Amino acid sequence: MYHKLRPMEQINLSTKIVVCVYEELNEIEKKLIDVAKEACQRAYAIYSNFQVGSAILLENKEIISGNNQENAAFPSGICAERTTLLYANSRYPDEKPVMMAIAAHTNDSFTDQPITPCGACRQVILEAENRYKIPIRILLYGKNQVYIIESIKDLLPLSFGELQLNASV
Ligand code: THU
């Protein structure tokens, strides 16, 4: 048995998440969250009744917002994060997305706790970080707590990206 030949190793991963409340944020961070919350109102979420909004601050200071767009064929719907980021990248391919805020609303209220991006959105955010060669700061809004993440790599350890694709095996 191979583990008798050499001791097994263990890799421990850790993630840094700053936890705060909305009132502790600076003006631009608050603004980005406000725009993400507003975007929830325009979500098309008739199947889940879970409206997600997202807002992205570009390097030129412009703010782009978007939301989830559902479909009767469920997998054809798309999350707020990808709607917003892919629109920003297609409309402003030369502007780096520097910060992103995400908020979610359901049953007449914003969620108490932050919601975190799904796996597919994490992968798309990672691609943007690699494409623009910057970490994208992410603010996850909850009424009781806000999480601040400095890079999607904190939420996607051992990620698959361009480096793996180009690595010779
Ligand atoms: N959703 C998002 O838009 N972003 C997330 O981070 C999690 C989930 C959407 C997908 C679907 O329209 C609804 O929320 C319920 O999963």
3-39 residue pLDDT tens: 567 789 999 999 999 999 999 999 999 999 999 999 9
Would you say the CB of residue 54 lies under 6 angstroms from ligand 1? no
Give the pair of three-digit tokens for residue 7. 């001791």
Query: 76 lies in which domain range?
Result: 18-155
Catalytic residues: 81
Q: Is 83 in the pocket of ligand 1 (CB under 6 A)?
A: no
Question: Does 79 sit in the ligand 1 pocket, CB within 6 Å?
Answer: yes
- Judge whether 9 lies within some domain: no
CB neighbour burial string for 33-55, b if at least 16 within 10 angstroms, e if fewer: bbbbbebbeebebeeeebbbbbb
Supply the DSSP string of 3-17, one letter for each residue. Answer: HHHSPPP--------
What lies within 8 Å, CB to CB, of 162 at 6+ separation is: 130
pLDDT tens digits, one per residue of 104-118: 999 999 999 999 999
Domain-located, residue 10: no
Is 63 buried (19+), middle (13-18) or exposed (0-12) by CB count in 10 A?
Answer: middle
Determine which residue's CA is closest to atom 9 belonging to ligand 1.
79
Locate tokens 């709607």: which residue? 83
Q: What is the pLDDT of residue 7?
A: 83
Q: Which residues contact 51 (CB under 8 A, 6 or more apart)?
A: 40, 41, 43, 45, 67, 68, 104, 105, 106
User: Where do runs of H (alpha helix) occur along the chain?
Assistant: 2-5, 27-40, 80-91, 119-132, 162-166
* The predicted structure's pLDDT at residue 89: 98
Task: Report if residue 50 sits inside a domain.
Answer: yes
In a domain, 166, yes or no: no
> Contact at 8 Å (CB) between 71 and 87?
no
Rounded to a whole number of angstroms, the distance between the first and last alpha carbons of the chain is: 25
Q: How far is the CA of 85 from the centre of ligand 1 (A)?
A: 14
- Give the pLDDT score at 31: 98
Q: What is the CATH number of the domain that holds 86?
A: 3.40.140.10
Could you tell me if the CB of 19 is within 6 A of ligand 1? no
Q: How many domains does the chain have?
A: 1
Q: How far is the CA of 23 from the centre of ligand 1 (A)?
A: 25
pLDDT digits (tens, 9 = 90+) for 33-67: 999 999 999 999 999 999 999 999 999 999 999 99
- Express each pLDDT in 107-153 by its tens digit: 999 999 999 999 999 999 999 999 999 999 999 999 999 999 999 99
Question: How far away, in angstroms, is 79 Cα from ligand 1 center?
Answer: 5
C-alpha separations of 65 from 3, 18, 108 in Å: 51, 23, 21
Query: What is the predicted pLDDT for the residue at 55?
Result: 99
pTM: 0.94
Token digits of residue 58: 């570009």
In a domain, 140, yes or no: yes
